[in-house]
C-alpha cells in the first residue's frame, strides 16, 4: 500500500474512533480527547501558512485578549475542529470540495459543550458570507484560501440570507469568531499554550457530561 493510502486509512480509522467513542465523557476526558486530537492532527495544514494548532491557539489568544467569556474562548480554540474529525480534510481542500467542517465540528462539540460554544462554531462560516455582504472591503482582506473556500461555501450572502443570519441567537458571537479566524494566521504570533485553554473546558462542558449540575 502506498504511504499516502496508508495515511488515509489511519486518519479514517482515527476519525471513526474519535467520533464514536467520544460520547458521555467527563470534563477531564474531554480535555484529554481534545489534547489528543491536536497532538495527532494539529500539525496539519489546509492551505494556509499556519498549522491547525497554531491557528487554534492564535484565535483563542485573540478571544481572551478581547475579554470575552470562557465559552467563546473555547469556541475560538475549537472553531475548526471539524477539519480534524473529517476523514481527510486536506484531500477535500486539494480537490476543491467543501468539507463542511463547521457542521462536523458543531456535531462533535454538541456532545460535550453548551450552546454558547457550539453555535458560534456552527455559524462561523456563514458569518464570513455575511460579512462579505455587509462590510465594505471585507472580501478584499480575506486570504487567498478563504476566498477560494468562500466560493465552495455559497459565496456572499444575499439580503434575505443576511436578515435571517442576524436573527440567530449567536450571530454576533459567530462574527467575532470569524474575525479572529481571519486574523489568526500569522506565522510569528505569540500565543498562550494549549493547556491554558484546556483548563477552561470544565467551565463550559454540558452539565450532564459530569453527571451532576454541581460538578462545574
151-167: pLDDT as tens digits: 999 999 999 999 999 99
- pLDDT at residue 211, rounded to an integer: 47
Cell numbers placing 187: 506565522
Q: Which long-range contacts (CB under 8 A, 24 or more apart) does 69-74 make?
A: 69/116, 70/200, 70/203, 70/204, 71/113, 71/114, 71/116, 71/117, 71/203, 71/204, 72/116, 72/117, 72/120, 72/173, 72/176, 72/177, 73/197, 73/200, 74/113, 74/117, 74/197, 74/200, 74/201, 74/204
Give, in degrees to the nearest 5, the angle at Cα 145 between 149 and 117.
65
pTM, two decimal places:
0.81
- How far is Cα 54 from Cα 1, in angstroms, rounded to an integer? 32
Cβ pair 111, 20 in contact under 8 A:
no
Which of 213, 193, 212, 196 has its CA nearest to residue 70? 196
Say if residues 113 and 204 touch (Cβ distance below 8 Å).
yes
List pLDDT tens digits, range 4-19: 443 343 344 344 344 4
Provide Rg for the chain, Cα atoms: 17
In this predicted structure, which of 109-118, 173-182, 205-214 has the lowest mean pLDDT? 205-214
Q: At what angle do helices 3-20 and 27-41 cross, to 10 degrees?
A: 170
Q: Is 208 helix (H, G, I), strand (E, B) or coil?
A: helix
For residue 80, give every residue at least 6 positions away whose Cβ sits within 8 Å of its Cβ, in sequence order, or none: 52, 55, 56, 101, 105, 181
Q: If pLDDT is split at 50, 70 and 90, which confidence band does 215 have?
A: very low
Rounded distance between C-alpha atoms, residue 94 and residue 75, angstroms: 26
Amino acid at each position: 500500500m502506498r504511504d499516502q493510502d496508508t495515511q488515509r486509512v489511519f486518519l479514517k480509522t482515527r476519525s471513526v474512533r474519535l467520533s464514536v467513542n467520544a460520547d458521555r465523557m467527563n470534563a477531564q476526558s474531554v480535555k484529554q480527547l481534545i489534547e489528543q486530537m491536536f497532538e495527532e492532527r494539529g500539525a496539519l495544514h489546509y492551505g494556509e501558512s499556519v498549522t491547525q494548532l497554531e491557528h487554534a491557539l492564535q484565535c483563542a489568544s485573540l478571544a481572551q485578549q478581547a475579554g470575552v467569556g470562557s465559552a467563546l474562548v473555547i469556541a475560538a480554540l475549537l472553531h475548526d475542529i471539524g477539519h480534524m474529525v473529517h476523514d481527510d480534510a486536506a484531500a477535500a481542500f486539494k480537490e476543491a470540495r467543501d468539507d463542511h467542517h463547521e457542521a462536523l465540528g458543531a456535531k462533535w462539540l454538541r456532545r460535550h459543550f453548551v450552546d454558547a460554544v457550539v453555535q458560534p462554531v456552527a455559524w462561523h462560516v456563514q458569518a464570513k458570507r455575511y460579512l462579505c455582504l455587509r462590510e465594505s472591503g471585507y472580501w478584499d482582506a480575506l486570504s487567498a484560501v478563504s476566498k477560494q473556500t468562500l466560493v465552495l461555501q455559497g459565496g456572499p450572502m444575499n439580503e434575505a440570507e443576511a436578515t435571517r443570519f442576524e436573527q440567530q441567537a449567536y450571530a454576533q458571537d459567530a462574527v467575532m469568531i470569524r474575525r479572529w479566524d481571519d486574523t489568526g494566521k500569522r506565522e510569528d504570533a505569540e500565543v498562550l499554550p494549549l493547556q491554558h485553554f484546556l483548563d477552561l473546558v470544565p467551565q463550559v462542558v454540558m452539565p450532564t457530561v459530569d453527571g451532576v449540575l454541581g460538578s462545574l
